Structures are given as structure tokens and as C-alpha cells.
Amino acid sequence: MILQSPRALQVHRLQVNGRAVEVAAAPGRRLSTVLREDLALPGTKVGCDAGDCGACTVLLDGDAVCACLLPLAQAEGRAVTTIEGLGEAGRLAALQAAFLKHGAAQCGICTPGMIMAGAALLAQSPKPSAAQVEEALGGVLCRCTGYRKIITAVCEAWRFEGAQPASPQPAAGAAVGVPVERLDGVEKVNGRDRFGADSWPAEALAVRVLRSPHHHAGFRLGNLEAWRASTPGLTAVLTAADIPGQNRYGVIPPFADQPALATDVARFRGEAVALVVGEASVVATLDLDTFPIDWEERPAVLTAAAAQDPAAPQLHADRPGNLLTQGLVECGDPEAALASAVFTVEGSVETAYVEHAYIEPEAGAAWMEGDCLVIQACTQAPGMDRADTAVVLGLPESRVRIIPTATGGGFGSKLDVSLQPLLGLAVLKTGRPARLVYTRRESMASTTKRHPASLQARIGADAEGRIVGFQMEGAFNTGAYASWGPTVANRVPVHASGPYRTPNYRTRARAIHSHGPISGAFRGFGVPQAAILQEQLYDELAEACGMDRLAFRRLNALRDGDATVTGQVLEAGVGIADCLEALQGPWDEALAAADAANVEGGPWRRGVGLASCWYGCGNTSLSNPSTIKIALAADGAVVLHQGAVDIGQGSNTVIAQIAADALGLPLSQFRLVGGDTAVTPDAGKTSASRQTFVSGRAAAAAGASLRTAILREANVSTDATLSVTGQRLTVTEAGASRDLDLGALPADAEGYVFRAEETYDPPTTPLDEKGQGKPYAVYGYGAQLVELSVDKGLGLVRLHRITAAHDLGRVINPLLAEGQIEGGIAQGIGLALMEEYLPGRSENLHDYLIPTIGDVPEVRSILIEKPDPEGPFGAKGLGEHALIPTAPAILNAIRHACGAKITQLPALPHRVLAAIRKAEGRA
Ligand code: FES
């Protein structure tokens, strides 16, 4: 068979996964494109098309190569192996099994590349060392896992040759607490998971987006129809004038301000201005530089400070001073407390734009089914996507269906719609299915970032080292449009005290518009930035008080019965003191090791740092319900309709574990129906560390409700046990069993004979004008200890080990919890030491550096269980928490090592050197 690519020039013959194939294509066509689009092997992923991320790694005659960099001609006559070529029918290869067993795949977008790079290594070294793995996999990026479990999986793969160890299969009622493999894991390690760019209707048109090359510019469109007509195969050119609904969307409706396509003015570089839609072969090669548009570049302000200058251009007419909004929390009398404090410290810090850098750029496809617009795309929030898309396209929500694909990382940015309304517009206007895949550059230029923050604070303590007063002011650069700026402004003041008793307190956070990239949600919603300053100052305050830094934190840690700075009394489940106590031994050992190492002299100085976190799970003082449905089908299947999008964090597995125990049937009998606005109830967005807690509570309620319905039908008490074998449901009580033939019971339209659907919404209260109230129903806590060395001559930082103690209330799945901690720490390392997004200058993964496999040290996780009565089985959230303490703990360790006080992040070597010189009085 000869496969024809649209611009066939030459027939190429090669072996792919042991099969001889011929491909008629241009010699320069990327091998990754040939594999994915010509040979229907989408297990090979594309994250950058530049050889930076390694997601497309395949084997070429046994060597690991980036398929995106390899022209087809260079594969001529050679053997190519992809992820689909590993393993045998129905059986995973040993390395794939090891990845699954060790939790080495989270979102799974990097997993095929990781596995192929690992396979090349194992062919040479069947039992490699960790150092060999780090070297062999150094070219493949992972944004989720923190790499440690990947290293373990490759090192341990040899154990999975032959008979592979059976997975733990918890019995009925015993799933919670068991480190079960992720239920959606097989497809992630065998390359069968389908992400946004992996499937589309055969007749789909391709869409490209024309974007602003300027930070701020007016524009005039030329003769679009003439331009379109001059290019055969170009079906439509669409602009704001084509939008049938309201050309304005936003994740927080009262602040909605972002046009799907700009009208007249672009407010940031990368803003979408027009769509070109046509046959894929035409659109892919179209020169958008010929697009008829005249730009008028205008003055731009890129920082919050510049945007607050009275002479600065105003981005939105109704937001004077470029102030989007501000949040305030105040209690006691901080001025008086600071004036009378025995010890006071003060300081400031500046943080950078941080890019989410998920390995999967935004991608999806859309089509019509009857009068319903169907959009299949990566996302964290299908319900919100539907709402925003419907508004823009002027459709009732009932005529928009969102089907989330597997999502290759999100970390907050895929909460905002990106391509969904654009795809929908293309479909509505052309009447054809459409497909859109962002390039790495446009993904980085056009989607949200972590807010750059400018923070100042002053903190005081009494003679015994008790915190008596705290003040912080923060300006957060929220970029051109609102996105999650209001959430950051509200969340930071609630959390800026850290998990410490603070009787007199005022923190104000302002979200300021600029012409920079839009700042949105990124793992922590501003809290990590505040913690960077607050935890550094607590180190200084401890020293001023003459106290050990850990002892200072243990003295001030919140405990059950304490009130927070919002006046919320935490009745139970406050686990920060437990986390800090768990670090006492590692802390003492680390300090002793640092002292011993520093005796030797030399440029490398060893230091130890510590920081804490707390984080409220779910929306701040706003309703954020989740609904979960569970049913028992006539064929005996237990079906969990679980719409909490699993972006790698493990909600598919964790929520099923909770539901299984609430229902009383084994987890292994569950069948998952994933997020799809047509078939799963709305479980809300995957953000704010809410899914384990909020959707978990809904799942527990739904499981219990289904159990009640079954027991009622069987007329037995709540002590009865359940089992299902085929169509037979057996109910056993006091040694007596009774069978129900499920096939004989009346079934509903979905084939279910029993069903339950329950909703849970966390009980919170609004915050008053001083920020007093109950913003969250559940908080999670944690503390991390960092050991590192600093080269005083070069400013380099080498991490040795991070010990992380996190209170999860109840650990639903220890394997997945460790993965969250390790992944959060890796992102915290990037925040502290290397990540700085510069608009227009680092819109790719070779100028924007994220931690690689060699940058994440050993991580020791300590899981603390201090149950919260509100959480399902006592559980709390973890996702954001794991990132928050890492950066300040690193900065505190740097200062401990060499005296360098870092006030501008990231702590790049030149900044560390400058801080060392300043500390030594040489600045
Ligand atoms: Fe590696 Fe998500 S699991 S990028």
C-alpha cells in the first residue's frame, strides 16, 4: 500500500513497528507528522516541533531521536519504532508496566517519549543506574511528575520482564488508602490515550489564528475576501464581525472582558485577531505575513508599576488606573501591634511571569451533530467552556457539547477557554468540521501565566517569638484581561499570613492591568508568590528572636480551635503542627550535615531551608458544587459518571476509590464515564485543589445513596454487604444471602436499574469589607525542607534533597499523592531558580527553561493524616499545596548557605552572585 500525503513528491520506504510501509510525501516532511497523520500512529506526541521537549521521541534503528526534527528522507530504509510498537497484543512491555506500577505517568503526554527514550537505554543497559537514566532521558521534558517516579520506573523495569506483578485489587469497602494504579493508566503507557491533537473528523477543515505581533496596537483590516479568493482551498476568513454572539468572555462572568477575536485594538502580543479556515494542506503552508491588515503600534506598559503611572495608557475604560480589582483582609490593629513588637522585620520581593509549559499545546476539533455544536478539546473545565462558547456564539448552552480529550497538563491555564469559541465559529460559518492545533509559540504567547508580583511586608513578634503583627501589600500584574485576576486578589490576603496565628493583620492585593500576557490561574492563584516573601521574612524574624527557624514555626503554627486572619475558627483537622513536627528529625540531621560540609571550606556552601503552606480547597467564598452520578446497569456494570477532568492529578482514580467504598463494591468492578457535558453531570472545574474534596464528597454521597437504594430494594439493613457477579446482585446480611437478577429489573433509558446522583457544595460564607468570614470549608497544610549547596564564586545552586510533609487529612491513594508532591516540587524549583517568561523573547521551550530530569533532587514524602470532618473520609486537597513551600524553602536555604537574600525571582546565578556580594558588603 502506498500512502499519499497531499503534497506527494517521492515514495519513501521504511519499517515502522516491524512493518514495511511506503509513504508518498515530500522528503522534508517531519517524521512525527508522517507517523501521526499519514500512518495513523498518534502515540508519538508533538509538544514543540523544535526538538526541545522530546515528546516525539521514537527509535530509529534502536537509537532515540526526536521525530519532529527528522525529515522523512532520513528515515528511508530504516527501522522506526513508536510507542505502539512496544509490548504485544494485550500485554504491556516491561517498561510500560513499570511506568504504570510506579505512577510514572500523570497526564501522559510526555509518557510515550519518556518510554521510548527509556527503551533505547534499556536495550544497552538492562539494569541502569539513576545517573544513566537521567542522562538518557535528559532530552525529554515532563511538567507533571517531577521525574522521580520515571527514574524509578526505568531503573526497575527489569523486574517486570516475564510474569508482571499483579496490581493490588482492594476488596469491597477497602479501596481508600490503597496505592492502586491509576484506572486510566494503561492507555497512557501504551500510547492509546487520545489528546486534543490526536483525533479529528476526516473531512475537517484546518484553522489557523492570526495574532497580534505587538503588545499594544490598533489595526485596520484590508480586503479579506479578495485575499481569501486569491488562495484556492481557503474556505473562510473570519473576524470579530463574524461573531454571532457577545464577543466577550471570561472565567468570572462579572469581569468578562476578553474578546474571542479582537476588534480594532489588540491589548497584548499574541491576541487573536482573525481566523483562516480551509483545506489542511493549504492552511498549513499559508504565509500569514500576506494577510491584509495594517497595524498601528501604540505605547505599551508591561509591568504593574508602569501601568500605575498616571500617564500610562488605560487598557479598559471602566477600570481607572488600570486597577482590575483588589482584595483585603484585616483583623486586629496591625499598626499598633507592629509599633509595640519587640522584633520586627521587613522586606520586599519581585516575581516573574511564569509559563505553565504543559507539554501539550492547546488542540481540538469541532463539528455539528444535528443542531448541537460538539467541541472535543483539551480542557480543565468543560462546563465553563460550554458557557463561554455559548455566549460568544450566541447559542443556548443546550446546543453546545464539550467532550474533553485527555489533557496533557493544565496547571490552571486550561481553565480559560482558548480555541473552543474559535473552533465553534469556524464550524458555524463553514458548515464543515474544523480542527485547530496551537503551535508551541502561540500556546505560550496567547495563554495565561502566573502573575508577576511586587510584594512588600512587615512582620513583628513579641519577646517569646510569637507573631503579633503582619502587614503586606501586593501588586499583581494581571495582564490585558481579567481572567483569574480577581481570584488572585482575593485569595492572597486570606493566605498571606501562612498557617500561623496572626492576631493583628492587614494584607491588600491589587490586580493591575498591563499589556503583558494575561495572568490567570497557576497552581496556587498568587499564594506561592506571597509565601515567597512571608516565609523568607519568618526566617529573618526567627533569627531576630534568637530562635531556631523550625522552632519559631512550630511555636506559631495554627492548631485546632484557632482563628485565622479572616476570623474563621478552625474547629478540627489543622495539620500544620503535625507536618512541622514530622520534619524535626530531618531538620536536625540536615543542619548537622550542612555544618559538617561547611567545615571543609571551598566555594560550595551547604544550606538548609524550610517553609510551610496552607491552602483553602475550592472557590473563595463562592459556591462551587460538584455533582456525581453512579449507577448499576442491567448487565452488572457499576458505572461512575465522573466529570471531574483528570489532567493527570488522578481524579479518575481517587474519586472512584471514594465512590467504591461508599457504595461497598470493589473498585475493580467500576466502569468510568469521563467528562462530557452531554453524559456526565457537572463536577465543576479541575482547579483550586477541589476535586478530591468537593467531587470526592459528591462521590461519597452518590455511592452511599446508591447503596441505600439497593438495600431498600432488597429490604435489608445498612449492615448488609453487596456483591455483583454478572447480572446477579447478591445482598448478604447476618449470613443470609439474597440474589437479585439485575436483568429482570426495569431499566431506564441508559440501561440502569439503580442510579443515584448527588451534589455537594462546600459550606462557606462571604467575606465582609474587611475580609472577615469563612472563605473555605477545608484547608490543607504542608511544610518542606530543602538541602542544597551554593557555589559562592559562580552563584550556582545545586539541590541535594527535599523532604516534604503534607497533611492530606486522609490519604486516598498514597502513590498518586506522592506524584502530586513530586510534581509540585518540580514546578516550585522552576519558580525559584529558573523560570522567567519574557513576552516576545521566550515563547518556546529552549529560551524558556523548565526543570529537566537532572534538576529535581531526591524527594522524600511524608504523608500526614489529620482528618477534616468535612472531607470525604476526612480527605483534603493537595494539588496546589505541594508547590507553595518549595520556592521559599529554596530561597531560605540559599540564604542559610551563603547569606544571599534573594529579592528578585528567579534566583538565576547572576542574581545569587549579586546577593552574595551584597551580603558580604561588596555590592
Ligand atoms: Fe509528563 Fe504530564 S506526565 S508531562
545517573: which residue's cell? 131
By most ligand atoms within 8 Å of CB, the mutation choice from 48, 110, 440, 816 for ligand 1 is 110
Q: Is the CB of 829 under 6 A from ligand 1?
A: no
Distance in angstroms (rounded) separating the CA atoms of residues 623 and 383: 15
Q: Would you give the distance in Å from CA 402 to the centre of its chain?
A: 20
Helix axes 549-556, 527-544, angle to 10 degrees: 110
CB 621 within 8 A of CB 764: yes
Q: Is the pLDDT of residue 90 over 80?
A: no
The atom number, within ligand 1, closest to the CA of 55 reads 4
Q: How far apart are CA 866 and CA 242, in angstroms?
A: 55
pLDDT at 2 exceeding the cut of 50? no
Which residue's CA lies nearest to atom 4 of ligand 1?
142
Within its chain, how far is the Cα of 71 from the centroid? 33
Burial code (b: 16+ CB inside 10 Å, e: under 16) for 223-238 equals ebeebbeebeebbbbb
What is d(CA 837, CA 830) in angstroms, rounded to the nearest whole number? 11
Q: Who contacts 13 (Cβ-Cβ below 8 Å, separation ≥6)?
A: 20, 21, 22, 76, 77
CA distances from 726 to 23, 146, 220, 638, 833 (A): 47, 41, 66, 11, 55
What per-residue confidence (pLDDT) applies to 643? 86
Longest dimension (CA), the chain: 85
pLDDT > 60? residue 58: yes
Q: Higher-confidence residue: 681 or 338? A: 338
Q: With a 6 A CB cut-off, is 376 part of the ligand 1 pocket? A: no
Which segment of 51-55, 854-858, 862-866, 919-923 scores lowest on mean pLDDT?
919-923
> Quick check: CB of 55 below 6 Å from ligand 1?
no
- Helix/strand/coil (H/E/C) assignment for every residue in 858-898: EEEEEEECCCCCCCHHHCCCCCCCCCCCHHHHHHHHHHHHH
Tell me how far the alpha carbon of residue 207 lies from the centroid of ligand 1, in angstroms: 27
- 858-864 β-sheet, strand order: 604-616, 779-791, 797-807, 858-864
Residue 528: enclosing H or E segment and its boundaries? Answer: helix 527-544
pLDDT in tens, 10-45: 999 999 999 999 999 999 999 999 999 999 999 999
Check if 482 has its Cβ closer than 6 Å to any atom of ligand 1.
no
Write the single-letter amino acid at 475.
Answer: A
Helix axes 909-919, 886-898, angle to 10 degrees: 50
Half-sphere exposure of 113 (CA within 13 A, CB side): 28
Which of the 8 DSSP states describes residue 522? Answer: -
* Cβ–ligand 1 contact at 110 (below 6 Å): yes
Say whether pLDDT at 496 is over 80. yes
Tell me the whole-structure pTM to 2 decimals: 0.96
Quick one: pLDDT at residue 440? 97
Residue 169 — pLDDT band, cuts 50, 70, 90?
confident
Tell me: cis bond preceding 906? Omega within 30 of 0 counts: yes
Query: Residue 714: CB within 6 Å of ligand 1?
Result: no
In three state form, how does the secondary structure of 589-649 look? HHHHHHHHHHHCCCCEEEEEEEEEEEEECCCCCCCCCEEEEEEEECCCCEEEECCCCCCCC
At 750-803, the pLDDT tens digits run 999 999 999 999 999 999 999 999 999 999 999 999 999 999 999 999 999 999
Residue 9 pLDDT greater than 90, yes or no: no
3-state helix, strand, coil split of the chain in percent (to 5) is 30, 25, 45
Digit-coded pLDDT (tens) for 92-114: 999 999 999 999 999 999 999 99
Residue 688 has pLDDT above 90, yes or no: no
Residue 106 CB–ligand 1 contact under 6 Å: yes
Residues 6 or more apart in contact with residue 894 via CB below 8 angstroms = 607, 609, 788, 790, 797, 900, 902, 907, 912, 915
254 DSSP 8-state letter: G
For 186-233, what is each residue's pLDDT tens digit? 999 999 999 999 999 999 999 999 999 999 999 999 999 999 999 999
Q: What is the per-residue pLDDT for 4?
A: 47
Average pLDDT over residues 621-630: 92
Cell of 123: 536495550
Residue 109 Cβ inside 6 Å of ligand 1? The answer reads yes
Q: What is the rounded CA–CA span in Å between residue 843 and residue 442?
A: 8
Give the closest residue (by CA) to ligand 1 atom 1. 142
